[in-house]
Each structure stands twice: as C-alpha cells, then as structure tokens.
Amino acid sequence: MKARILFVCLGNICRSPMAEAVMRHQVELVHLSESIEVDSAGTGDWHLGHPPHEGTRKQLDQHLISYQGMKARLVTTGDFETFDYIVCMDTNNLRDVRKLLSKAEGEGERTRLFTFMELLPDKGMADVPDPYYDGNFSFVYELVESGCKELLKRVRADLKLV
Ligand code: 4NP
C-alpha cells in the first residue's frame, strides 16, 4: 500500500512547496519514501513553472532540505484520482479545491481533504498565514515542520506502519 499526499496553496510557490519539501525530507529520514509520495499544487496560475519563492528556498536551504526540480503547477480534477490526502494550506484553498471536486464526477471518494491547520489544533489557527504578503517565512516554516510531523504520524497509522 502506498500513500500519496498533495499540499495545495494559492500560488504554489511559498507554503505548499515548503510543505512538500519538508514532508518529503521527514519521510526520507524514516526510510518510507517507497510508501509515501508527496507533491504540491496551486489554485492560481500566476507562477506556473516557477521554482519555490526565494523566502521558501532560504528556509529550506537553512534546514538543508532539497527543493530540486520543484515547479509550480495547478491543482486538477485528476488529482482527486491520484492522491489519498489533499492538504490545503488555508480555508480559501479548501473552498476552491471543494469547488473543483464538485466538477470531478465520481472522483475523490477516497481522498481525505482537510486544512493543514487541522493537524495542529492547539494553535487555534484556521490558516497557514501567507508569507507572500507578510514575508514571515520562518513562522510558516515552524508551522510546516510541526504539521508535517503530525501528518506523518497520521499516514503511518493509516498505512499500519506505526
Ligand atoms: P502561496 O503564496 O499561496 O503560499 O504560494 C502566494 C504566492 C503568490 C501569490 C499569492 C500567494 N500571488 O498572488 O502571486
């Protein structure tokens, strides 16, 4: 059994690529790359084909986490067939992904769709704040690192790999 995880944000250059890279790194550290695949996508098309934002790259560089080859892409209805978990970085992304899902007839039945901050209920935050606007990439990194640890626990339990 394999688990496939897709992180979704607006531009796919700041938050979701950070989550993708951090999650993949955490999966590699516990030698589960054969069982858990990770990707990311955006709901907006302004940055298609672009690498992660400089602020995201800086955080990943500081933590020695690779983002090699990562490029922004749009979330598609096909993603509901491919991915077991679609994790939206904020509630607007969740609304947009749900809208897309309503157009994808018969797909997405097995996809678990939720927001990233549902992984960190103690924070009392609905959204991962968008650093594209406030520049606070280090705060987002802290949230992403903690949330990915929780997601890894959840996925391992679902796959019975605990
Ligand atoms: P992200 O941040 O959704 O975390 O990638 C943004 C990136 C780009 C834009 C907005 C948010 N933009 O408007 O171009």
DSSP per-residue letters across 100-130 = HHHHSTT--SS-EEEEGGGG-GGG--SS---
User: Given this model, what pLDDT does residue 63 score?
Assistant: 98
Residue corresponding to tokens 């955080």: 59
Cβ pair 6, 40 in contact under 8 A: yes
Task: Report CA(11)–ligand 1 centroid distance (Å).
Answer: 4
Q: Is the CB of 139 under 6 A from ligand 1?
A: no
- Catalytic annotation, residues: 9, 15, 130
Beta-bridged to residue 41, according to DSSP, are 8
Q: What are phi and psi of 18, to 5 degrees?
A: -65, -45
- The highest-level CATH class for domain 3-158 is alpha beta
User: Given this model, what pLDDT does residue 107 score?
Assistant: 65
Taking only the tens of pLDDT, the chain with its 162 residues reads 899 999 999 999 999 999 999 999 999 999 999 999 999 999 999 999 999 999 999 999 999 999 999 999 999 999 999 999 999 999 999 999 999 998 887 667 788 999 999 999 999 999 999 999 999 999 999 999 999 999 999 999 999 987
Q: Is the CB of 128 under 6 A from ligand 1?
A: no
Q: What are the strands, taking DSSP E only, across the chain? A: 3-9, 36-42, 85-88, 112-115
Q: Is the CB of 25 under 6 A from ligand 1?
A: no
Question: Measured between alpha carbons, how far is 105 from 24 in angstroms, rounded to an integer?
Answer: 30
Q: Is the CB of 26 under 6 A from ligand 1?
A: no
Task: Report CA(105)–ligand 1 centroid distance (Å).
Answer: 28
In Å, what is the CA distance from 91 to each residue of 22, 159, 162?
Answer: 21, 27, 30
Which of ligand 1's atoms lies nearest the C-alpha of 17? 5
User: Given this model, what pLDDT does residue 109 score?
Assistant: 75
